[in-house]
Structures are given as C-alpha cells and as structure tokens.
Amino acid sequence: MGGVSFQLLTYDTRAARTAASADEPRATFVGSETCAGCHRAESQLWHSSQHERAMDHATDKTVLGDFSGATFDYYGTRSRFFRSEGKFLVETDGPDGKLATFEVKYTFGIYPLQQYLIEFPDGRVQALSLAWDSRSKESGGQRWFHLYPNEEIRHNDVLHWTKLNQNWNFMCAECHSTGVRKNYDANTDRFATTFAEISVGCEACHGKGSRHVDWARGRQSWWPFARSDDPDKGLIVHFDERSQVTWPVDLKSGNASRSIAPATLRKEVETCGLCHARRGQFSEEWQPGKWLSETHAVSPIGRGLYYSDGQMLDEVYNYGSFKQSKMFAAGVTCSDCHEPHSAKIRLPGDNVCLQCHAPDRYTAVTHHRHEGLNPGLTCTSCHMPVRTYMVVDQRHDHSFRIPRPDLSVRYGTPNACNDCHVDKSPAWTAAAIEVWHGSHRKGFQKFGPALHAAWAGEKDAGSLLAEIAADGQTPAIARASALAELGSRHANIDLSRSGLTDPDPMVRIGALDMLEAYPLTQRWPLALPLLSDPVLGVRLRAVSLLAAAPATWLSKNERSRFESAATEFIAAERLNADRPESRTRLGTFFGQRGRTREAEDEYQSALRIGPQYAPAYVNLADLYRQTGRDSDAERVLRRAIAEVPGDAGVRHALGLTLVRLKRLAEAIDELRLAAEWAPAQGRYGYVYGVALHSAGHATEALNVLNANAIRHPDDRDTLLALISFSREAGDMPGALSYAQQLARIAPSDPSVARLIDELRQRSSQPAAK
C-alpha cells in the first residue's frame, strides 16, 4: 500500500476519543491526495478535469504559453515573453504605464485559454490581460492575445492588469483554489492571502474533510470506542439528490418526470453555484449544500448582465441561467448531465438530453423541422445557444429555452434560430416558427415582456412586473428580479409582504429591495422580522434597509436582533475592505446610524482605494450636505469630475450642491449635463426641469419634464411637477391629462382621484377675463 492509504488505516486513539466527545473539534482541510487514498476512481476523474488545473505554480509542466521571446503588440505597447534563470517572465506596461519586467508566479486555467498571475510585494496578485490561446492552430489557437482587443486599456484604467478589477485576491481566488482566506489588512493595505489547496480540489465542493477522514479511520479500527456508526460519515453534506430517483418517460409527451419531487433547497445546484454564479462574497464561512445566499450576494436578472428575457449577456456563468429553466423546475440537477468529478458531459452529443427525452420524438424531423439535418446541429444548438466570452471561450446558455424569434422582433433579444440563419431577419424566423407551431408559442420563461417594460420605462411595467412577482409558477430568480424592479414604481406593498415569506432567499431579498422605495415607517414592520432570517444574506439586506431606524423604535429584544445583524453587516463589509464599493456601503451604514466620523473615514478610504469609484464621491458629498458642509461637498465633487469626468451622477450631485450654495445658473448647467448624459435616469430629468422652473424658465421646464414623462411614463414625481406647473400656467386641460396619466400608475391613491375631480371642475370653468 502507498503512504496515503497506510495513514488512513492507522488510527490515533486520542483523535478517536476527541471525535467521540461532545465537544467535537472544528473540521479542517485534509487535501485531495488524502481523499484519493480511498476514492481512487473519483480522484482519477478529477485529475482529468479542468478543476484540477484551475490554478497552479508556473513550471515547465504547467505553462502552456510561448515564453521563447514571443512578442505581442497592443495599442503601441510591445510585450515580450521570455525565460531567464528558470523563471517565466513578461516585459509589459506596469502600474505607471512604463515597460517593466514581471515574473509569472502562477498559471490560471488551461483551456481554451490560459492566464498568468503576477505577485506584487504587498501581497496583491494580479491577472495579466495578455493570455495564451491554448486551442489548436487549426482552431485559431497557439497565440498570445489581449482580453480587451477592441479598446485601449491604459495603466490608469480600473481594468488595467495592475489595477483593482484584475486583482486575483478578490476577483478570482475563491473559485480557482480551495479554502481561500483573503487576509487583507486595511491598516497596511496589504494582502496575506492563503489557500488550503492551490487548485479546485475535493474539499472545494465537499467541504473540509477531517471529520470524514476520522470516520473512515474509525470504521477500520478495532478499538471499541471507534466512531463507526456516524450516519453522516463525518461529511458536511450528502449529495444524495439523485439517490433512488428515476425518470420514467411519458409516452404521450415523450418527456420524463422525476419520480421524487425535488427539495426546495437544491444542495448540488447551490454548491456548484459557488463558482458558477455571478455573485459577490460577503463571508468566508461557506458550506456545501447550503443556500448560496448564505455567504454570497447573487445577481438577479438585471440589466447589463442578462437580456430582458433572461438570456445571458455578460459573464453570468450557469447558475442564474439554470435556475430560470424548466429543467431546474422539473428537478434536474447538475450531475444528471455532468459527471461531477471530471466535470465532463456524462454522454456524448444529444445522448445526455435523450436520457429524459424520447429519441423517437425529439430526433424526428417533426420536432426539429430541419430536413436533411446537418450532423453538427444538436439539441444544444437550439436550446443552449453559445456565446463567446474572454475572446475565445464559448459557453452554453443553461436556461434551456425554446427559441423565441418573436421576442427578438419585439425586444431586440437574440434567438438561436438567427444564430444559424444570419442572413435572415428575426421577423422571417418568427414567421416560420408561427407556421410550424402557431402564434401562441410562449415557452417556460414568460417574464421577458415585464423586464423589458421595466428597463425601457414603459407605462405598463408596474402591472406586468406585479403579475410576474405574484406568479408562483415563475422561476424564483425571475420573481426576485421583478420585486426588485417594482420598488421604484410604488407597487402594492402586499407583493413585498408575500415575497418576504418565500422559501427562496433570493425572493426574500428581492422583496426587501422593493421596500427600499417606501418610507422607513412603512418598511420597518415588514423588514424587522427578517433580522432573524436563517440566511445571512437576507439578514444583511434587512439591516441595511433599517439602518436609519431611531433607537426609540426598538424594544429590548428588537435592539438585540438589530445589533446582532448590524455586527454581521459590518463584518461582511470589512471582509472586502479592499474594495471601494464595500467601504462606501459601510460609510452609508455608519452615516445612517449617526456615526458621522466613521462614515467619512470609510468614504475617504474608498476614494484612496478606488479613485475612479464615483458613488464614493457622491455619498461623501451627501454626508457633507447632511452636516452643513456644502463647500466641502463641492470640493469633493470637483475632484470627482477630474477623476471621472463623464459620470452623470457626479454632475447631478454637483448641481444639487450648487443649488444649495445659491449658484443657480451654474447648478442648471450641471443638472442639464446629468439629464443629457443619462436619460435613463428619470430623476435627473425631473430635477433639471424643476431647477429650470425655479430659475423662471417655465416653458423650457415644461418641455424638459414632458420629454422626461414620455421616457419615464411611470415617474410619479415628474407627473406631479407637470400637474403643478401646468396648473400654475393656467393650462387646466394639460394638468388634467397629466393627472389622468398619474392615476394609471397609482389607481388606488385617493389623493389622485380628488386631484382629478378638482381639475375637471376647474377645466370646465370659463377663463377669467
């Protein structure tokens, strides 16, 4: 036997007594080679996986790129890759923009590209934006390329390889190594990041293994006190979701259904989501099989990340897409399709789909409608279209959707049909689909029209979103997204009340997001119970929502719950003290709690870490406003303009500051820029219009506000201003028209009904002579 196996069979009596005691020690990492002692087959599969090569030391064995003196030109900078004294080196533009030589410390990934990591003296590890295309030459690979080929990324850009958004310690480490501890020291601005295993090992998915090893040793021991009857086998989680499950096929539909209903908490999906989700970490205490929202803020279906129908747009990976799918709703889990240790598809080609979908029905021309089918066209071609990220990395959309070219016609979303029929229009493809299947082909994901209406600011967005939020058959991630969008639309607060009790924590968080638009007095009684929610992510959102609550509102018990959640919130943001967004959120929290000095310190730290992070300037200026320091606010915002000159939010904040400083003409100039640069922000247009009116430019103000109301038909403040200013100008019919528009978005508001009655009466009166 090898050394590892011998260690497993040798039993330490002291360890056994400790394990059998009531005060069981915390689990620790043991490493993948220890696991291999008993799990040889799984280990061999893992060694064939990309997980095993997710990160490694830079050696002759691991480095794939050409370091024989190869060069690469990028916007006037020539980088050179070479070797010296056994080291892999790159000469390229450094943090000051000047050419310098850096040692490659680690490799990152293996296929279809490999990246390289550079370690700096302060513990920062940065990912080069120059990567190696590891595909074959026939596929266009075996070359150096830049990850941003079509835009010049200079040394002062946050996306430059030496800057904040290419930092391994925060951006990458957790998903490419096992047991990562970031260990950032905010006082010295240094990292001492560690990992238990350099790559994605067994315990990255199964959790710390020491208790399981103790159990395994105990079973093989002859000692009478050996812990051999542990039903959990010392494991943190059992991935048993496929155990005893069958998928009988319904002969009529040709589809299979799960013999056992899936659990609400899908342990495997949540565990894979740790790395295959668009999310941000707020706790290092992740455990497999728990809700991902316990330790991470998971992105809903948001603009800029997804198309409105839920198709992937930016790099969102697979979790969010899969949770939209009919496959997820039916109980399919990741390992139904993927062998979990090799991460490869279980069966070749369409066979993985045909495990559950009858071949005689779904491989037939009557299904796919393509006579003389090209052998390269597969189930995934239509139901899992490919998008390319990082220049060469093709990824399948895991939302398993029915192609909807009709949505492409209406909303500009992509569709799988036109991925192949590039010479045809979406209208042509939609017509063909209608001939085949009729005009009522909706598919499973029905939330696209609602999210499109919300993102486009259409007048029926509120009602469409409310319908999605209330529909229990809609995927939870879509309901969470709809609830979050409803906040700015003054929707029925009962929708939030229902969402706050949903079993999925993402929906509860979405319902809390919705409450943010309501006065503290209204959100307080609804959000208060969630300070004790079992999922940390929900508690953090609840306490941030209630941060401004006066202490007098809290009973002794409530105060204890609030302070406990507040402590968790502060710890969560402190974990990411290396990020300006975390320091800014913490500054806002302290400001709402009346801890002004601490709030200012956090904002200043955010600006030191990320001088191009505009929200920190805006929030610091607002803190100065609250403390009567408008001159300091102007100084901060002028500095912001120098750093981020094209940011509309900064211009808007400066305009408001200048209003308070009674420099209205200057203020109007800034407010105009904000409204022009960011027409999607209805608030900017509203404030600019009101400022114009205050300056005596009534006609121009009405024109600006009317244009804003057209772009944002559900903007209550804009409509109220139009009603007021039209009435002031003597235009009662115009005021009545705007009031009726307001009634459509606030049908249950009695004050709007009274206003309409008043305006109708005044409209019918003859004009004064």
Burial tier of 13 (Cβ tally within 10 Å: 0-12, 13-18, 19+): exposed
Whether 111 has a pLDDT exceeding 70, the answer reads yes
- 3 state DSSP class of 660: helix
The predicted pLDDT at position 21 comes to 42
Whether 1 has a pLDDT exceeding 50, the answer reads no
* pLDDT (tens digit per residue) in 688-700: 999 999 999 999 9
Per DSSP, the residues of 440-493 read ----S---HHHHHHHHHT-TTHHHHHHHHHH-TTS-HHHHHHHHHHHGGGT--H
Q: Cα angle vertex 567, ends 561, 569, to 5°?
A: 100
Whether 5 has a pLDDT exceeding 50, the answer reads no
The residue to which tokens 């395994």 are assigned: 216
Handedness of CA 218, 221, 222, 223 (dihedral sign): negative
* pLDDT (tens digit per residue) in 139-153: 999 999 999 999 999
**What's the rounded mean pLDDT across residues 124-147?**
98
The predicted pLDDT at position 373 comes to 66
**What's the rounded mean pLDDT across residues 159-166?**
96
Residue 221 banded pLDDT, cuts 50, 70, 90: low
* pLDDT (tens digit per residue) in 291-344: 999 999 999 999 999 999 999 999 999 999 999 999 999 999 999 999 999 999
Long-range contacts of 586-590 (CB under 8 A, 24+ apart): 587/616, 587/619, 587/620, 587/623, 588/547, 588/619, 589/544, 589/547
- 3 state DSSP class of 769: coil
Q: Across all residues in the chain, what is the average pLDDT?
A: 92
**What's the rounded mean pLDDT across residues 245-252?**
93
Q: Give the closest residue to 419 by CA, choosing from 377, 365, 368.
A: 377
Structural domains of the chain ordered from first start: 51-203 (no CATH), 267-437 (no CATH), 579-678 (1.25.40.10), 683-769 (1.25.40.10)
* pLDDT (tens digit per residue) in 496-515: 999 999 999 999 999 999 99
* pLDDT (tens digit per residue) in 269-292: 999 999 999 999 999 999 999 999
Q: Collect all residues with Cβ–Cβ distance below 8 Å to 492 and sequence separation of at least 6.
A: 466, 748
Distance CA 97, CA 522 (A): 52
Residue 387 DSSP symbol: E
Handedness of CA 198, 199, 205, 206 (dihedral sign): negative
Q: Give the closest residue to 511 by CA, choosing from 467, 481, 546.
A: 481
Q: What region does 727 belong to: left with phi over 0, alpha with psi -120 to 50, or beta?
A: alpha
